[in-house]
Structure 1
C-alpha cells in the first residue's frame, strides 16, 4: 500500500532504515531547490530490472496503469495481475497496460533475497519497473518523480496514465468510459482535496513544519490512492519540479507542481473514488472507479464474483 496525503495508510513499519532518509531527503531538497535542472538533465533514473523500454510505446496504450508497490509485496502484485490488472483491452479498442514501480528493498536483513525474487519475477512477467532509490514511505515523492520521468521517456504513445495504489480495486471499464470524454491535455483527476489544512502536529505521519511549507492550506490536489492524468503532464511536472520546493507527501507535491503550472485538477464524477474501503457488493462496485480495500479482503474471490456474466444490479 502506498497511500499518502490524507489517505488511509498501513504497513510502513518495515521501513526502519528510513531514518537514513534524513540524508536522502536533504539531498533531494538540494536536488530540487538549489539546482533545479538536475532532475531533468543529470538525475536520470537508473533502471534495475526494466529490460524492455520499447514495450509501452509498442502497445500504444490508451491508459497506462502504474502501481507503486514495495519490492517485498509480491502478494499485492499477484492479486492485481489476477484481477483488474488483467484487463488489457476494454471497450473493444482501448488498450490498457499495467506496470509496477519499485525501488530498492528497505528490509536490511533480507534485502538480497528480496532483490533476487524481484529479478525472477521481472523475468517472468516483464511488468516491473525498478529504480535506484530506497523504497520507503518517506521516499514516495522520489518514487512519483521517477514515474513521471519514465512515462515521459518510454510511454509517449499513450494517451493517459493512472497512478494507483496496490491495495485498491479499480473498475477499468468505468475508468475508460470516464476518459473517453475527458480532455487530452492539462488533465488530472481523482479524489481532489480542496482547502486541505497543513498538519502541524508531530504525532502525524503527514506533519510538515512551517520551515518546509509555510502556508496553512494546500492547493487542490488529487489524493495519492489513485489519480489519472493526460500524458502531456509528466514532462510538464518534471519541469515544474525544478522550481517547486520538495515535500515528502507525494500527492501534495504533485498538487504544488500543478499550481506552479497554473493547472487546476479536475473533480471526478460524484462518488467515483473512495478513500475509505467500500464494502464489496457486486452492484455498488459496478458504479465506482476505484476504492481502497481492507487487508483482510479476499480480492480474488470478490473478483470471481464481480467478473461473472449477468447483470450487476
Structure 2
C-alpha cells in the first residue's frame, strides 16, 4: 500500500495533461503471505476508498508476473478500447507524466511499443540466476527484442493482439521477455524511444534539469520518488 500511496500523492495525481485524460490503476493478485486474510481485508478497504485497484484470481508473486501481465492485457482489451495508449509500470518507479504524453502525441496509434528496449539479450543458463531459463524451456541463445518491464508503453490495439499471441506462445516466467516473444510471434517490431535517456533501469541521481527531461526511472526509495516529484512541481526554471 505504501507504494500505491506514494504514486497517489505524486505522479498519479496528474489526470489531465495537454488535454489528454490520464487514468492510473493498480493491478494485484491474491496475497500469498501468512496474514493473507488481513491483507485482503485491508486491500478491500483501500479499494473502497480509492476505486483504483483491479484484483484477479492468481497468487501475486514474482514467478506469476507473466500471468499478471496477460491479465492486464485482457482487462485493457475488454474495458479500455477508447484509450489510445497504456503504460505498464512498476510501483517503485518515478514517472514524468508530461514527458510521457509529449512523447506519445506524435507516436503511431497502432502496433507501437516502446520503453527501454533490450536487443540481443543473452538467455541465462546458470541455475542459480534469478532469470535462469533451461534449454528445455527456451532453446535459442538470445531473446528477441523486448521492453524492460520496469515501464513500457504500447498502443491499445496491441492488448488484444498480445492476448491472442499468448494463447500460442509457450509461456516463460520472465514477463517482459515473454511480451517480447509474443511481439516477435506477431511480427511486430518494438520502437526505440526518441532519446535513449528517457527510460532508466538504474536510479538516476536527482537533478532538476535531468528529471525534467526523462520519462521513467527507478528510485532508491519511495521517499525519493515523492521528494523528486514535489521538487519538480515547484516554480522556476528546470535547467
Smaller-chain TM-score bracket:
over 0.9
Output the CA distance in 2 between the equivalents of 1:300 and 1:254: 30
Deviations 1:105-137 (A, max 9, x none): 010x20000000000000000000000000000
Deviations 1:144-198 (A, max 9, x none): 0000000000111100000000111001000000000000000000000000000
Counterpart in the other structure of 2:6: 79
TM-score by length of 1: 0.75
For residue 301 of structure 1, report the CA deviation from its aligned partner: 2.4
For residue 296 of structure 1, report the CA deviation from its aligned partner: 6.5
Output the CA distance in 2 between the equivalents of 1:302 and 1:233: 32
Give the counterpart of 1:141 among 35, 44, 66: 66
Superposition pairs of residues 240-259 of structure 1, within 5 angstroms: 240-259=165-184
Gaps of 5+ in 2: none
Counterpart in the other structure of 1:40: none
Q: Which segment is superposed worse, 289-298 or 248-257?
A: 289-298
Match of 2:176, SS? helix
Gaps of 5+ in 1: 1-73
Match of 1:119, SS? helix
What is the aligned length? Answer: 238
Counterpart in the other structure of 1:279: 205
For residue 297 of structure 1, report the CA deviation from its aligned partner: 4.1
Output the CA distance in 1 between the equivalents of 2:136 and 2:56: 30
Deviations 1:30-81 (A, max 9, x none): xxxxxxxxxxxxxxxxxxxxxxxxxxxxxxxxxxxxxxxxxxxx00000000
Give the counterpart of 1:193 among 108, 112, 118: 118
For residue 243 of structure 1, report the CA deviation from its aligned partner: 1.1
Output the CA distance in 2 between the equivalents of 1:104 and 1:153: 21
State the 4+ residue runs in structure 1 displaced beyond 3 angstroms.
none
Q: Please tell me the root mean square deviation across aligned C-alpha atoms, in Å.
A: 0.9
Match of 2:38, SS? helix
